[in-house]
Amino acid sequence: MLPDSDAVELSVVVPLYNEELNIDYLFERLVSVLNRLNMNYEIVCVNDGSKDNTIERLIKHHHQTPEIKVVNLSRNYGKEIALSAGLDFANGAAVVPIDADLQDPPELIEELVAKWREGYDVVLATRRSRVGESWIKRFTANAFYRTIDRISQVPIPRDTGDFRLMDRRVVDALKRLPERNRFMKGLFAWVGFKQTSIFYDRPSRHKGETTWNYWRLWNFAIDGITSFSFIPLKVWSYIGLLVAIPAFFYASFLVLRTILLGIDLPGYASLMVAILFLGGVQLVSLGVLGEYLGRVYEEVKGRPLYLIREAYGFDSTQALREKVHSSVENGQEHRA
């Protein structure tokens, strides 16, 4: 398929944050699946500033299995950025991001690859069910997908996480998106290409606990909505109009009544309601402006997306060439 016999055909990208309990089992399953596939593969592990022994274990695995490569970020940047770093380092003709907690069953990679060979550029793994998640989580996830579906400019497939297979073309396209605010689900959808899905039942976490509490999920949702829709910004002009037009007529009525019938004092309640209601509406709209403005500021600063402390298993020229987002110019080194 590829001219170069030792070129990597398949890259599996794993972001890891405090996953020491899952690592051994993850590699056991992943490596046995990948060996079955008979492809030239690599596993790009991105340690996202873990506070436990994740990095030591990864390095140990790297020494035992050279296909396991390790990128160690300088701190915790969050899953979306860790994933972007992994995509920057991945060399494969196809790339599969996968969670370290085994919620994305590695066995599915075989099916993903089969579809890729049929000629699809993106093969999504769509969740048929979510085992072990509370109804609240399911309800909020549903509400989020419905909202973003309605207001986003590109259709974002529901019940699809980051687990998917992407052709090199798609990965290269993703790498050209320079934004700091990386709502990966949306970015994946934005680049398009020929897509298909396979379905699976999502199991619950193998070991450890999710770091996504509701506050984090809420911020994640706001990130998603603000990066893919201007509707929250625009809606205020319409709300303003809706309030202003009746207000104009009511004001005319009040003026006329005062002229014709004289001054009539009562009106404290309506005055209070109007002030509080409009004050609230204005604060909310200011908040929305702030959300966008903050993100513009974030982008304008133009800081590198992530910094790398060290990398294992990549030859240094490649590591240098591959850096799109991280600042090689800033003089960071890669230890191969």
Q: What residues make contact with Mg ion under the rule CB under 5 A?
A: 101, 103
| Cα 82 to Cα 13: distance, rounded to the nearest angstrom | 10
Alpha-helix runs per DSSP H in 192-335: 214-228, 231-261, 268-301, 316-322
Q: How far is the CB of 286 from ligand UDP (least distance, A)?
A: 30
| Cα 242 to Cα 283: distance, rounded to the nearest angstrom | 17
| Cα 253 to Cα 88: distance, rounded to the nearest angstrom | 64
Q: How far is the CB of 272 from ligand UDP (least distance, A)?
A: 45
Tally Cβ neighbours within 10 Å of residue 289: 13
Tokens 């982008």 — which residue? 299
Report the residue from 9, 20, 101, 167 that binds ligand UDP according to the rule CB under 6 A: 101
Work out whether 147 is an interface residue with ligand UDP (CB under 6 A): no
Closest to 335 in 3D by CA, of 301, 305, 311: 311
Q: Residue 72, class by beta-carbon neighbours within 10 Å (0-12 exposed, 13-18 middle, 19+ buried)?
A: buried
Pick what 147 binds: ligand UDP, Mg ion, none; C-beta below 5 to 8 Å, kind-dependent.
none
| Cα 178 to Cα 304: distance, rounded to the nearest angstrom | 10
Question: Judged by CB under 6 A, which stretch of 36-44, 75-83, 84-92, 317-325 contacts ligand UDP?
Answer: 75-83
Q: How far is the CB of 103 from Mg ion (least distance, A)?
A: 4
Q: How far is the CB of 19 from ligand UDP (least distance, A)?
A: 5
Q: How far is the CB of 60 from ligand UDP (least distance, A)?
A: 18
Instruction: Provide the mask over 211-240, with x wherever binding to ligand UDP is found by CB under 6 A and - wherever it is not.
Output: xx----------------------------
Please give the single-letter amino acid code of residue 171: V
Work out whether 16 is an interface residue with ligand UDP (CB under 6 A): yes
Work out whether 167 is an interface residue with ligand UDP (CB under 6 A): no
Nearer to Mg ion, 212 or 250 (CB): 212
Closest to 297 in 3D by CA, of 289, 308, 307: 289
Q: How far is the CB of 98 from Mg ion (least distance, A)?
A: 11
Work out whether 193 is an interface residue with ligand UDP (CB under 6 A): no
Residues forming the site for ligand UDP (CB under 6 A): 15-17, 19, 48, 76, 78-79, 82, 99-101, 103, 205, 210-212
